[in-house]
Structure 1
């Protein structure tokens, strides 16, 4: 694939949102074959390059919107990724939990229950990673 300017912008944004470790881990485990490489290329350009770099909303707000839409659409694997991104944008565990809980009246308790279970796991993983020797600050 010819690497466009939007692809380059998207690659930078994706790495900034995920952090180096997560971006590398996903590259070596999820996007490590030709089929998934095509999807990764498309998302770098179309999602991270076009959407995440638009003016009008800060990254923190975009991260929360993404977590809420994952919850509304039952996109649990994506929610795991986006909760990590939201924490990197300085959303606290309490704020994210409250935002997810707030959606129960609009999208339903079963989706929110599952989202909170996912969040509990992700937050525990993040705390363990932060406590590990040599963890990035």
Structure 2
């Protein structure tokens, strides 16, 4: 089935946000027909429409996603959104501090899990780029 213009617009936004390494880590997720429908919807409704709206910059939108993921314990999504946040310009230290700040609002157990996800993702991203710590 041919993809809509909205799908293509959303796919371009998604690729920009997630990057090649992030997309490679998701390989196979959307191969199933049920998941393909989900992916199509996400590209059109979320990436083409929500992420492209005026009023907030991409960097701010990624932080909102981190907070939402941590509050709702959406750990696989948190890894995706942490990658997007790093690509949008947040440093590891800034994101760690933002997560730590949530301790007073959503609790230590959720933030602990979020920090574990962040630690793993940050190490993966450093390995992908072949280098440096904490930025």
Normalising by structure 1, we get a TM-score of 0.89
Deviation at 1:24, TM superposition (A): 4.3
Distance 1:117 1:82 in 2: 14
Counterpart of 1:21 in structure 2 is: 21
Residue in 2 aligned with 1:127?
A: 126
Whole-Å separation in 1 of the counterparts to 2:22 and 2:110 = 26
Which residue does the alignment assign to 1:135?
none
Aligned to 1:112: 111
Over the aligned positions, Cα root-mean-square deviation in angstroms equals 1.4
Q: Which runs of 5+ in 2 are unaligned?
A: none
Partner of 2:43: 44
Using the size of structure 2 for normalisation, the TM-score is: 0.91
Any residues of structure 2 matched to 1:54-65 within 5 Å, and which? 54-65=53-64
State the distance in 1 between where 2:130 and 2:24 align.
20
1:3 Cα offset (Å): 2.9
Per the alignment, residue 79 of structure 2 pairs with: 80
Aligned-partner SS, 1:19: helix
List per-residue Cα deviations over 1:67-125 (Å, max 9, x = no partner).
11100100000001110111001100000000011111111111001100110010111
Cα distance in 1 for residues equivalent to 2:110 and 2:72: 8
Aligned twin of 1:12: 12
Contact in 1 for aligned 2:99/2:115 (Cα 8 Å): yes
Cα deviation, residue 2, structure 1: 5.1
What is the alpha-carbon distance in structure 2 between the residues aligned to residue 103 and residue 31 of structure 1?
Answer: 32
Query: Where do 4+ consecutive residues of structure 1 move more than 4 Å?
Result: none
Stretches of structure 1 that go unaligned for 5 or more consecutive residues are: 133-137
